[in-house]
């Protein structure tokens, strides 16, 4: 069983670098003390250096919320993987807020996965269906398509270097998490797809996260699911007590 992983996606929060540093300082001791689980926080780009300083020497590592697949060039407003090297170990790619609000395609997300892997960092590849797709009975097909497209061109031996996060769009920021049955069904389906892409030993080693309204109250039942190796957490990751409780719930899974 892979080491569990919790990733906090701070999104465009907190509103200032000083508050991001204060959040990191509040997390540092209690989150650092939770053993048996890898802990990643993903502040906004501009806060990364200050948060890195605040967490220096702690076991909590940093992730970025996005990356551009090209190493440099005329891409106004974008940040390359090379710029993140040495600061971040993880990079979220394909978050639904970028797929759906900013029009990121499966091919573009795949290019990011390959770029992040090529630089020796860990992509956290987000997949998940909208409510319309679920209601139309297309949830599994959408997630399978996003998974296959996101992993296109990844060497079979590198698949374990990718983290996959199943994040149903209808559960993100809504307070309506997937039921444990749905989370297990969908994430078990991703694991089965990985077996077909690689082999069962490799697929068993890939970290599969659930994301979508994870909180301190529902983390334990999600952590008990056989295929859920961790959580990608948005809103609750801004509350140190809640994020530490979520990390503890997954640590007991190890
Ligand atoms: C997310 O943004 O990835 C997320 C899961 O958000 P929330 O936990 O707030 O639903």
At 247, which CATH number? Answer: 3.20.20.70
Q: ∠132-231-141 over CA atoms, to 5°?
A: 35
Q: What is the pLDDT of residue 254?
A: 60
Mutation test residue for ligand 1: of 173, 178, 245, the one with most atoms within 8 Å of CB: 173
Mutation test residue for ligand 1: of 8, 169, 212, the one with most atoms within 8 Å of CB: 212
The model's pLDDT over 200-246, given as tens digits with 9 standing for 90+, comes to 999 999 999 999 999 999 999 999 999 999 999 999 999 999 999 99
Pairing state of beta strands 38-42 and 61-64? parallel
Residue-number span of the structural domain to which 35 is assigned: 5-251
The model's pLDDT over 137-191, given as tens digits with 9 standing for 90+, comes to 999 999 999 999 999 999 999 999 999 999 999 999 999 999 999 999 999 999 9
Give 115: exposed, middle or buried? Use CB within 10 Å, 0-12, 13-18, 19+.
buried
CB 205 within 8 A of CB 2: yes
Backbone angles phi, psi at 155, to 5 degrees: -60, 140
| pLDDT band (50, 70, 90) for residue 1 | confident
Query: What whole-number percentage of the chain has pLDDT above 70?
Result: 100
User: What is the arithmetic mean of pLDDT over 53-59?
Assistant: 98
Ligand 1 center to residue 249 CA distance, Å? 17
Query: What whole-number percentage of the chain has pLDDT above 90?
Result: 98
How far apart, in whole angstroms, are the C-alpha atoms of residue 145 and residue 128?
A: 10
User: What is the arithmetic mean of pLDDT over 24-52?
Assistant: 98
Active site residues: 95, 167
Q: Which atom of ligand 1 is nearest to the CA of 236?
A: 8
Helix ranges restricted to H, the chain: 17-32, 48-55, 81-84, 96-101, 106-118, 131-135, 139-150, 180-197, 200-205, 219-223, 240-251
Number of domains in the chain: 1
Return the bridge partners of 169, or none: none
Residues near ligand 1 (Cβ within 6 A):
9, 167, 172-173, 211-214, 232-236
| pLDDT band (50, 70, 90) for residue 116 | very high
Mutation test residue for ligand 1: of 233, 236, 238, 246, the one with most atoms within 8 Å of CB: 233
How far apart, in whole angstroms, are the C-alpha atoms of residue 114 and residue 101?
A: 22
Q: Which atom of ligand 1 is nearest to the CA of 97?
A: 2
**In degrees to the nearest 10, what's the CA dihedral of 113, 93, 46, 57?**
-70
Q: What average pLDDT is seen over the chain?
A: 97
In this structure, what DSSP letter does residue 47 have? G
User: What is the arithmetic mean of pLDDT over 84-108?
Assistant: 96
Ligand 1 center to residue 212 CA distance, Å? 5
Give the number of residues written for the chain.
254
Other C-beta atoms lying within 10 Å of the C-beta of residue 237: 26
| pLDDT band (50, 70, 90) for residue 253 | confident
How far apart, in whole angstroms, are the C-alpha atoms of residue 111 and residue 252?
A: 35
Ligand 1, atom 1, lies closest to the CA of: 234
Ligand 1 center to residue 177 CA distance, Å? 10
In this structure, what DSSP letter does residue 3 have? P
Ligand 1 center to residue 213 CA distance, Å? 6
pLDDT over threshold 90, residue 252: no
């Amino acid at each position: 069983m892979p080491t569990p992983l919790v990733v906090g996606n701070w999104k465009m929060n907190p509103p200032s670098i000083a508050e991001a540093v204060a959040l990191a300082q509040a997390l540092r001791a209690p989150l650092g003390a939770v053993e048996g689980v890898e802990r990643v926080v993903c502040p906004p780009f501009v806060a990364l250096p200050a948060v890195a300083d605040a967490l220096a020497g702690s076991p909590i590592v940093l992730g970025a919320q996005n990356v551009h697949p090209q190493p440099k060039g005329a891409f106004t407003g974008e940040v390359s993987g090379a710029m993140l090297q040495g600061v971040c170990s993880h990079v979220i790619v394909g978050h639904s807020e970028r797929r759906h609000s900013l029009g990121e395609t499966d091919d573009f997300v795949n290019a990011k996965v390959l770029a992040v892997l090529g630089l020796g960092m860990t992509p956290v590849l987000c997949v998940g269906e909208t409510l319309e797709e679920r209601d139309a009975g297309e949830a599994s097909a959408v997630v399978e398509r996003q998974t296959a497209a996101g992993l296109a061109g990844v060497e079979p031996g590198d698949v374990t270097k990718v983290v996959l996060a199943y994040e149903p769009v209808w559960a993100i920021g809504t307070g309506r998490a997937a039921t444990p049955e749905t989370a297990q069904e969908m994430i078990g389906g991703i694991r089965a797809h990985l077996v077909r892409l690689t082999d069962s030993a490799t697929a068993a080693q890939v970290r599969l996260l659930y994301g979508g309204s994870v909180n301190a109250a529902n983390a334990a039942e999600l952590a008990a699911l056989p295929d859920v190796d961790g959580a990608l957490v948005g809103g609750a990751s801004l509350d140190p007590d809640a994020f530490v409780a979520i990390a503890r719930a997954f640590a007991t899974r190890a």
